[in-house]
Chains A and B, each alone.
Chain A
Amino acid sequence: MAELTVVGKPVTRVDANEKVTGEAIYGYDLVLPNMLYGKTLFSTKAHARIKRISTEKAKAFPGVVAVVTGADVPWTHGESIKDKPFLAQGKVRFIGEPVAAVAAEDEDIAQAAVKLIEVEYEDLPVYVDPEEACKSGAVAIHEDFPKYRKVDFIVPGAHANIAEHFKLRTGDVAQGFKESDLVLEEKYFVPMIQHAAMEPHSAHAQFDKETGRLTIWVANDAPFRALHEIAEALGMPKEKIRFINPLQGGGFGSKGGLKVEPIAVALAFHTNGRPVRVKFNREETFISTLTRHEAVVYSKTGVKKDGTLMAREMTIYWGAGAYAEKSPTVCIRGSLPAPGPYRIPHVKVDGYAVYTNKPVAGSYRGYGIPQGAWAGEQQMDEIAKRLDMDAVEIRLKNIFVEGDISYWGEQLHAVGLKETLTKATEAIEWGNKPHQIKPGVKNGKGFACIQKPTRSPTTSAAGVMVNTKGDITVLAGTVEIGQGCNTILSQVAAEELKVPMAKVQMHPLDTDVIPYDASTTSSRSTYHMGNAVRRASIHAREQIMEAASPMLEAKTQDLDCVDGKVFLKDQPQMALTLGEVVRRKFGPEGVVRGDGSYTYEIGKDLDLETGHSDHASAFYMYATQAAEVEVDEDSGRIRILRMSAAHDVGKAINPLNCVAQIEGGVVMGIGSALHEEMVIDQTGKVRNPSFLDYHLVTSLDTPELISIIVECAEPEGPYGAKGLGEPGLAPTPAAIGNAVADALGIRIYDLPLKPENVYWAIQNKKKKDAA
Chain B
Amino acid sequence: MNQKIQFTLNGKSTTMEAPTHRLLLDLLRDEIGLTGTKEGCGTGDCGACTVLMNGKPVNSCLVLSGELEGASIVTIEGLKIGPELDAVQNAFVRDGGAQCGYCTPGMLMMSKALLDENSNPTEDDIRFALSGNLCRCTGYAKIIQAVQDAAAMIRSKNVQ
Contact = CB atoms under 8 A, between A and B. Distances in A.
Contacts of A700: 127-128, 131
A20 interface: yes
Contact of A656 (B46, B96, B100, B108): B96
Nearest to A662: B139
Interface of A: 12-13, 15-26, 28-29, 31, 195-200, 247-252, 281-282, 481-484, 656-657, 660, 663-668, 690-692, 696-700, 702, 705
> A-B pairs with the 5 shortest C-beta distances?
A22-B36, A482-B100, A249-B102, A19-B101, A667-B139
A22 B41 contact: no
Nearest to A670: B139
Given A660-B138, A691-B43, A483 B35 contact: no
Interface in B93-107: 93-94, 96-105
B139 A484 contact: no
Contacts of B101: 15-16, 18-20, 24, 247, 249, 482
B37 A22 contact: yes
Nearest to B93: A16
A698 B126 CA distance: 12
A21 B76 contact: yes
A656 B79 CA distance: 26
Given A21-B85, A22-B76, A702 B40 contact: no
A195 B137 CA distance: 11
Given A21-B77, A21-B80, A699-B133, A668 B139 contact: yes
A284 to B, nearest CB: 11
Contacts of A657: 96
B141 interface: yes
B130 to A, nearest CB: 4
Interface string B37-65: 11111110110100000000000000000
A18 B99 CA distance: 12
Nearest to B46: A691
Contacts of B97: 20
A691 B100 contact: no
A705 B45 contact: no
| Chain B interface main SS type | loop
Contacts of B148: none
8 contacts: A20-B89, A26-B35, A282-B41, A282-B42, A482-B99, A666-B139, A699-B126, A705-B139
B135 interface: yes
A657 to B, nearest CB: 8
B15 to A, nearest CB: 22
A25 to B, nearest CB: 7
Contacts of A17: 85, 93
Contacts of B92: 16, 20
A21 B89 contact: yes
B142 A691 contact: no
Nearest to A707: B141
B151 interface: no
B143 interface: yes
B49 to A, nearest CB: 11
A699 B136 contact: no
A250 B136 contact: yes
A258 B36 CA distance: 26
A239 B133 CA distance: 42
A664 B96 CA distance: 12
Contact of B103 (A16, A198, A697): A198
A248 B132 CA distance: 22
Contacts of B79: 21-22
B40 to A, nearest CB: 5
A195 to B, nearest CB: 8
A656 B138 CA distance: 12
Given A692-B45, A705-B141, A200 B33 contact: no
B7 interface: no
A481 B102 CA distance: 10
B148 to A, nearest CB: 13
B59 to A, nearest CB: 12
A19 B135 contact: no
A22 B141 contact: no
A484 B76 CA distance: 22
A20 B19 CA distance: 31
A113 B9 CA distance: 34
B41 A691 contact: yes
Contacts of A22: 34-37, 75-77, 79, 105
Contacts of B48: 198
Contacts of B40: 198-200, 282, 691
A691 B103 CA distance: 14
A282 B134 contact: no
Contact of A702 (B41, B103, B137, B139): B139
A51 B50 CA distance: 45
A204 to B, nearest CB: 14
Nearest to A23: B36
A343 to B, nearest CB: 33
A8 B29 CA distance: 40
B144 interface: yes
A21 B46 contact: no
Contacts of A18: 101
Given A16-B98, A22-B35, A22-B37, A482 B137 contact: yes
Give the interface centre of A26, A29, A692 by most chain B CB atoms within 10 Å. A29
A697 B139 CA distance: 8
Nearest to A197: B136
Contacts of B138: 660, 663-664, 667
Nearest to A195: B136
Contacts of B140: 667, 697-699, 702
A694 to B, nearest CB: 9
A690 B76 contact: no
Contacts of B45: 282, 690-692
Interface string B96-129: 1111111111001000000000000000001110
Contact of A197 (B75, B76, B100, B141): B100
B104 A19 contact: yes
Nearest to A13: B96
A196 B40 CA distance: 10
Contacts of B104: 19-20
Nearest to A37: B30
A18 B80 CA distance: 12
A664 to B, nearest CB: 5
Nearest to A700: B131
A198 to B, nearest CB: 4
A196 B139 contact: no
A250 B137 contact: yes
Give the interface centre of A23, A195, A249 by most chain B CB atoms within 10 Å. A249
Given A22-B105, A482-B137, A200 B128 contact: no
A666 B36 CA distance: 28
B122 to A, nearest CB: 13
Contacts of B35: 22, 25-26, 29, 31
A12 B98 contact: no
A19 B104 CA distance: 7
B127 to A, nearest CB: 5
A674 to B, nearest CB: 14
Contact of B38 (A249, A481, A667, A699): A249
Contact of B99 (A483, A691, A705): A483
A698 B131 CA distance: 6
Given A20-B85, A20-B98, A690 B43 contact: yes
A458 B30 CA distance: 40
